[in-house]
Amino acid sequence: MPAAHGEDLASPAGEGWRLECARAKAWTPRSRATRTSPEHPGTAVRWDGSLFEVVSLSRAAGGSVIYVLEPWADSHTIRRLEEYSEESEAAGRADRMDQARRALRRRVLLVLSPLAGHLPASVQERWEREYDVSAAFLTIASAVPLLLYGAMCALFLTILGFTGATFGIPVRWEILGLYFLVESGVRIGPAWSGSQPSGSLLGSAAYGVWLRASGRSGAGARP
């Protein structure tokens, strides 16, 4: 009797074996012949040195997946061969853990996008490749709040120019707001029209300081 691997459970089933798995595998069952299409064998599985065909797939009440495997018929052509072993199961677990980690980091990036989008474009582009988070979205999410703040500052300065009333608010903050207005507008334009991300001056400077403090190289990091 071939041994089940990982968390799977194996038991005899007619001429083959019934394999109950907590998670689905990348195996497809046999496709029966119809009036318009011939029969197609299921996935070929090498299990403890023997070759089997996945003939059926079903789901148990508890959510586990049940495969029935029978010895591979010599008349069939192997189109796809899967290994079933401790090594393949360990690789599958590692892949699931990696996917879960990437999904978690993607959610964190989306939540922190108003801050993450200030980092250099090269960092945002790397996150896009690794975690499937739009770098252009990160840029826009970080630029829009400062754009709105800058617009309010521009409105305040306009009112100040006509009335001369400061309402007790230091004008220097409004001058800084004008800078944010211009920079954010410059960053949003390419990100919106051409999906070109860009970091802010302050964000890129802070990232450069962090690189030097951590001893890492910042070569190639562009705003």
The Cα 91–Cα 94 span in angstroms is 5
Query: What is the pTM assigned to this prediction?
Result: 0.70
* pLDDT score of 2: 84
Per-residue model confidence as pLDDT tens digits over 186-217: 999 999 998 899 999 999 999 999 999 888 76
Provide the CB-side half-sphere exposure for 3 (13 A, CA).
6
Contact partners, residue 12, CB within 8 Å, separation at least 6: 1, 18
Could you tell me the two tokens for 195?
A: 């999906």
Return the minimum-mean-pLDDT range out of 41-45, 51-55, 63-67, 162-166. 162-166
Task: Find tokens 């980690």 and name the residue.
Answer: 101
CA dihedral 48, 46, 33, 12 (to 10 degrees): 10
- Work out the number of other CB atoms within 10 angstroms of the CB of residue 102: 13
CA dihedral 117, 121, 124, 129 (to 10 degrees): 160
Residue 222 confidence class, pLDDT cut points 50, 70, 90: low
Per-residue model confidence as pLDDT tens digits over 98-145: 999 999 999 999 999 999 999 999 999 999 999 999 999 999 999 999
Identity of the residue numbered 222 = R
* pLDDT score of 129: 94
Whether residue 91 has pLDDT greater than 80: yes
- Work out the number of other CB atoms within 10 angstroms of the CB of residue 175: 11
